[in-house]
Amino acid sequence: MNLTHINEQGYARMVDVSDKEDTTRVARAQALVHMQPQTLTAIREGGIKKGDVLAVAQVAGIMGAKQTPSLIPMCHPLMLTGVDIEFEFDEDGSTLIIRSQAKTTGKTGVEMEAITAVSVAALTVYDMCKAIDRWMEIDAIQLLEKYGGKSGHLHRNLDNESLGNRGSLHSICISPERGQLKAEVEEAQVIFGSGIENDGHAGDWGRQVTCLSWESVLKVNREQNLNIGPGQFAENLLIEGIDLSRVGVGGRLKIGSDTILEVTQVGKEDHPSVVTRTFGVSLLPYEGLFCKVVAGGKIKKGDPVEVLINV
């Protein structure tokens, strides 16, 4: 294996990326902070004397990502277009899970920025809490996912439930024309660059397939005392087990073994739709994912669904 950071004389160098193409680059990373249960509770309830631990750690992580080339000698200075830090409490494991996402458009990736972000955020959590829990442990600092460049999309296989990026296809629904409630089918053919076969939304445009969260449908039914089922919100696909609000424009969903959808739009104008006129409530205008088909294939109810990248 040739290491590109070593020159012909055996000395370290910064890799020349002049000839690489500018592409959208995204990376996600994770770090775990293990602590005593009472420490985790204190963080959640704001009981740390130094202040809001998560707020400070979030800012520190973002600053860490921006300072990566100052800390890691061979990293290129990048114009970051986005950095985000999120936290999850694992009560059973008495662990704070820290995840980051870094994004840029350029000639080299943002893996180091994402990893530095979670590292600095984790160190900040330790600093904020060490007075009450000196033996906290930081581990599992790792890249989760990267997108863009010559290597394309790569992701680490981790526990599906903790990542929240894998679920299943609850239902498939189609209608012959746009502006109608849809009927459920057991399986369907998804056509590259078009949409779902025999569905009125298929065509050469950016809203070929619409997706909604099954959990959102259940929530509306409970809150509004309704019994709205698959297709009645005029969606094509109901996806179960994934927080679709975390999938932005440019994000991709893989369904089954072959089909890949890319999000082109989140939400739309409700003017009012047949759904609103029928039920008095709607979901697609507020949280629907509108997608184009970048890889076609046959899909069926119950197929696995995976978030390839959040953008």
Whether 283 is covered by a domain: the verdict is yes
Name the residue range of residue 240's domain: 166-309
Q: 242: number of CA atoms within 13 Å, CB side? A: 29
Domain boundary among 161, 176, 210: 161
Whether 138 is covered by a domain: the verdict is yes
Whether 278 is covered by a domain: the verdict is yes
Question: What pTM was computed for the model?
Answer: 0.54
| Residue 15 · residue 26 · CB < 8 Å | no
Q: What is the CATH number of the domain that holds 94?
A: 3.30.70.640
What does the pLDDT read at residue 156? 65
Burial class (CB in 10 A: 0-12, 13-18, 19+), 123: middle
What does the pLDDT read at residue 7? 63
pLDDT by residue for the chain (311 residues), tens only, comes to 455 666 666 666 677 777 787 888 899 999 999 999 999 999 999 889 888 999 999 999 999 999 999 999 989 999 999 999 999 998 888 999 999 999 999 888 899 999 999 999 999 999 999 999 999 999 989 998 887 877 777 766 543 344 457 889 999 999 999 888 999 999 999 999 999 999 999 999 999 999 999 999 998 888 888 889 999 999 999 999 888 887 888 889 999 999 999 999 998 876 677 888 888 888 988 899 999 999 999 999 999 999 886 55
Question: Secondary structure of 5-66 in the HEC alphabet?
Answer: CECCCCCECCCCCCCCCCEEEEEEEEEEEECCHHHHHHHHHCCCCCCCHHHHHHHHHHHHHH
Beta bridge partners of 107: none
What does the pLDDT read at residue 128? 95
What does the pLDDT read at residue 157? 52
Sheet holding 23-34, edge to edge: 80-90, 95-106, 23-34, 137-147, 154-155
**Are 303 and 186 within one domain?**
yes
The amino acid that residue 44 corresponds to is R
Q: Is 133 a catalytic residue?
A: no
What does the pLDDT read at residue 159? 39
Of the residues 16, 52, 92, 127, only one is catalytic, namely 127
What does the pLDDT read at residue 162? 40
What does the pLDDT read at residue 241? 86
Whether 32 is covered by a domain: the verdict is yes
What does the pLDDT read at residue 5? 62
What does the pLDDT read at residue 233? 93
Whether 296 is covered by a domain: the verdict is yes
